[in-house]
């Protein structure tokens, strides 16, 4: 994801999250989709087709996992302001879980602060409940490149 954020620069980029459910309320992020072309400075618009195709690839690549891997929510970057959900973000996610999409979804917001420093917040939205701040645990030892067609790992297995 860092590589994507560096590419994105000051544009807001984002996509969908795919995760395996380990236990009730506990998910391991196994992949994410990203559209580097659509980002703009202060707004990210999800394009269902692009992300749907990428998500299918992630699900296929993780078909051998024990748990069920599925769409978990959305992510986007706040390159120029703190990585907390804006009013617009909260409204969009609330509308999604209340009215159309899944009844539960998370919103991951990330900000690249410098080389190797990633700031992030995760908020969960559930139908009928107020948004809740989640806990994000980054396990660097197990982080693997997850985006089909985009190699985020160099030859030594380090993440770029």
Nearer to Zn ion, 46 or 153 (CB): 46
The secondary structure of the chain, three-state, reads CHHHHHHHCCCECEEEEEEEEEECCEEEEEEECCCCCCCECCCCCCCHHHHHHHHHHHHHHCCCCCCCEEEEEEEEECCCCCCCCCHHHHHHHHHHHHHHCCCEEEEEEEEEEECCEEEEEEEEEECCCCCEEECCCCCCCCCCCCCCCCCCECCCCCEC
Q: Choose the stretch contacting Zn ion; rule: CB under 5 A; options: 22-30, 46-54, 85-93, 96-104.
A: 85-93
* Residue window 28-67: x/- pattern of binding to Zn ion, with contact defined by CB under 5 A: ----------------------------------------
In the complex, what is the shortest distance from the CB of residue 89 to Zn ion, in angstroms, rounded to a whole number?
A: 4
In the complex, what is the shortest distance from the CB of residue 86 to Zn ion, in angstroms, rounded to a whole number?
A: 5
89 and 97 Cβ atoms separated by less than 8 Å: no
Using CB atoms, what's the residue nearest to Zn ion?
A: 89
Token readout for 24 is: 């009730």
The reply on whether position 20 binds Zn ion by CB under 5 A is: no
In the complex, what is the shortest distance from the CB of residue 126 to Zn ion, in angstroms, rounded to a whole number?
A: 19
Q: Determine which residue in the list 86, 94, 119, 126 makes contact with Zn ion, applying CB under 5 A.
A: 86
Nearer to Zn ion, 46 or 86 (CB): 86
Q: Which of 95, 120, 113 is nearest to 105 (CA)?
A: 95
Q: Determine which residue in the list 8, 14, 89, 110 makes contact with Zn ion, applying CB under 5 A.
A: 89
Nearer to Zn ion, 69 or 110 (CB): 110
User: Which residues contact Zn ion (rule: CB under 5 A)?
Assistant: 86, 89
């Amino acid at each position: 994801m860092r590589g994507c954020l560096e590419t994105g620069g000051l544009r807001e980029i984002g996509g969908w999250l795919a995760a395996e459910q380990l236990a009730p309320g506990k998910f391991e992020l196994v992949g994410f989709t990203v559209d580097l072309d659509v980002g703009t400075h202060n707004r990210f618009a999800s394009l269902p087709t692009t992300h749907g195709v990428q998500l299918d690839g992630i699900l296929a690549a993780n078909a051998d996992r024990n748990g069920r891997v599925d769409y978990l929510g959305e992510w986007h970057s706040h390159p120029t302001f703190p990585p907390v959900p804006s009013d617009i973000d909260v409204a969009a996610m609330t509308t999604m879980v209340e009215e159309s999409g899944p009844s539960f979804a998370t919103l991951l917001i990330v900000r690249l602060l410098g080389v190797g420093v990633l700031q992030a917040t995760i908020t969960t939205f559930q139908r009928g409940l107020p948004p809740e701040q989640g806990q994000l645990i980054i396990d660097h030892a197990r982080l693997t490149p997850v985006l089909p067609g985009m190699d985020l790992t160099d030859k030594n297995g380090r993440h770029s």
